[in-house]
Amino acid sequence: ILQDNYDNYGKSEPVLNRYLRDLLRAMGYRISDQPESGASATKEGPGRPDLIVNFENSASNVLIEPLRITGCGRVDAKNWDDHLKKMVDNYNSSGYRMMVLVSYVTCTKKYFPKVDNFYYERMRKESPTGGIGKPEQCKPVRDERISDLIRITRAEYYSTGYSPTIFHFLIHIQKTE
């Protein structure tokens, strides 16, 4: 739905986040929008992750941190790294077992597979933080029921007492042809 609506192409990250939040709420999930959690990037105040999916058992809550990128250039890669690090290091004071990094990608449809491969390799080879190390398993999640405009990577990390799974969703926000 998000990726198929051409009107979303020029929308800002906060607008796309509200759209994602509303979709999740329509599906029956309880969503917190920018609650205080952990620390800000400067560590001088509380952090504000974009979305948290709340379940009865708070140990099952899911942190969602979206960002907007145009491709896999240096600026986009730094923005992606910063969001991943912020999600894992700053906002994760509750020890979320599952976190989701959502990238709204506004490149051409032809370039989208290259962007997917770039971030898959980045997630597979590099540690988002010194705290949890490189992933033990990192694999693309491919399902014929998922649109070709969405790519998902699942990375499982194992460390003493804390083993998060991070999903990276790349959502291609199309421009009208």
pLDDT band, residue 3 (cuts 50/70/90): low
- What would the mean pLDDT of 77-98 be, rounded to a whole number? 82
b/e burial code for range 115-124 (CB count within 10 A of at least 16 → b) = bbebbbebbe
Q: What pLDDT is recorded for position 123? A: 80
> H helices then E strands: how many in the chain?
3, 7
| CA contacts within 13 A on the Cβ side of 173 | 23
C-alpha to C-alpha distance for 24 and 53, rounded to whole angstroms: 9
3-state secondary structure at position 141: strand
Per-chain mean pLDDT for the chain: 78
C-alpha to C-alpha distance for 33 and 159, rounded to whole angstroms: 29
Consecutive H or E run containing 64: strand 62-69
Phi, psi of 69 (to 5 degrees): -135, 160
Count other Cβ atoms within 10 Å, centred on residue 129: 16
Q: What is residue 153's DSSP assignment?
A: E
Cβ distance 59 to 37 under 8 Å? no
User: What is the largest distance, in Å, between two alpha-carbon atoms of the chain?
Assistant: 49
* 79's tokens: 């923005």
Instruction: Enter the pTM of the model.
Output: 0.81
3-state secondary structure at position 7: helix
pLDDT band, residue 114 (cuts 50/70/90): very high
pLDDT band, residue 175 (cuts 50/70/90): confident
Token pair 């600026």 is found at 75
